[in-house]
Amino acid sequence: MAPQIYRIQFPPYNSEQLRQDEVSFKLIEDGKPQRLRFHDYAAIYKRPGLYEELFYGRLRCNSPVKVMELLQRALQTAREPVTELRVLDLGAGNGMMGDVLKRDGVARLVGVDIVPEARDAAYRDRPTVYDAYYVADLATMNDELREELSEWSFDCLTCVAALGFGDIPPQAFFNAMRLIQTGGWLAFNIKQSFLDAADQTGFSRLVRALIFSQYFNIHHLELYRHRLSMEGTQLFYYALVGRLTSPIPDEFLHTHGIE
């Protein structure tokens, strides 16, 4: 079956005056326009192929491939095969990062997202990618879910295009990191501003605290073009791959004043 083609209309005004999580577009269906924000994930995921057409077709998103490229490079340096990785894909969405991981043959792949429609879309569009997919808020993870996720013995956490706009709070990312075994890998991308000391948002401070901590060693940090804006301007992110060197203490967020 040929993929559905959507009629997407970008607004006439300059979207660069808005934050990325405020940007919207019009979707024309049956001749009727409907305004959707880029972060209206539930509505976007319900429409097969719309997420791909918008972010990967029109806006040329490159993040899953870039993050996987750096992870592969780190693994090659460490002489470790990607085929032995047991990966937790946080903010998995409809499986774009999962698709890249599965293509390279990871041993286990588990997705987590807070949006139920994300799991539905992943199972609909990529039914063979994930070994399991949880709809859960890891910021408020209970003991039962923590124990169930721990049984997967994760040694890699990926999180792509999901950090920094309130999609995943610092506590959720912190709890996900603590599910990764010591010596395991973190592979994610962040806004360019997150490494700027002037950015005092919770997630920005968490990333900087982690980078300069004794618990994490950076293997690769690369500035790259994440995607285009609606105006065609290049949006740059950092792709970061590193290794957990020791268990992160419970009080890490509190110590650094991060909520």
What pLDDT does 257 receive? 87
* Residue 1, domain member (yes or no): no
Identify whether residues 72 and 36 lie together within a single domain. Answer: no
pLDDT in tens, 225-257: 999 999 999 999 999 999 999 999 999 999 988
Identify whether residues 103 and 228 lie together within a single domain. Answer: yes
Q: What is the pLDDT along the chain (259 residues), one digit of tens a residue?
A: 557 889 999 988 777 777 767 889 999 998 999 999 998 999 999 999 999 999 999 999 999 999 999 999 999 999 999 999 999 999 999 999 999 999 999 999 999 999 999 999 999 999 999 999 999 999 999 999 999 999 999 999 999 976 555 568 899 999 999 999 999 999 999 888 878 877 777 788 898 999 999 999 999 999 999 999 999 999 999 999 999 999 999 999 999 888 7
For the chain, the three-class secondary structure string (H helix, E strand, C coil) is CCCCCCEEECCCCCHHHCCHHHCEEEEEECCEEEEEECCCHHHHHCCCCHHHHHHHHHCCCCHHHHHHHHHHHHHHHHCCCHHHCEEEEECCCCCHHHHHHHHCCCCEEEEEECCHHHHHHHHHHCCCCCCEEEECCHHHCCHHHHHHHHCCCCCEEEECCCCCCCCCCHHHHHHHHCCCCCCCEEEEEEEHHHHCCCCCCHHHHHHHHHHCCCCEEEEEEEEEEEEECCCCCEEEEEEEEEEECCCCCCCHHHHCCCC
What pLDDT does 163 receive? 55
Domain that holds residue 22: 7-58
Total-model pTM: 0.94
Identify whether residues 86 and 147 lie together within a single domain. Answer: yes
Identify whether residues 91 and 31 lie together within a single domain. Answer: no
Identify whether residues 122 and 24 lie together within a single domain. Answer: no
| Number of structural domains in the chain | 2
Identify whether residues 40 and 113 lie together within a single domain. Answer: no
What pLDDT does 192 receive? 85
* Residue 26, domain member (yes or no): yes
CATH code of the domain containing 154: 3.40.50.150
Identify whether residues 217 and 110 lie together within a single domain. Answer: yes
Identify whether residues 115 and 183 lie together within a single domain. Answer: yes
Identify whether residues 212 and 243 lie together within a single domain. Answer: yes
What pLDDT does 121 receive? 98
Identify whether residues 224 and 104 lie together within a single domain. Answer: yes
Identify whether residues 232 and 249 lie together within a single domain. Answer: yes
Identify whether residues 40 and 120 lie together within a single domain. Answer: no
* Residue 2, domain member (yes or no): no
What pLDDT does 161 receive? 77
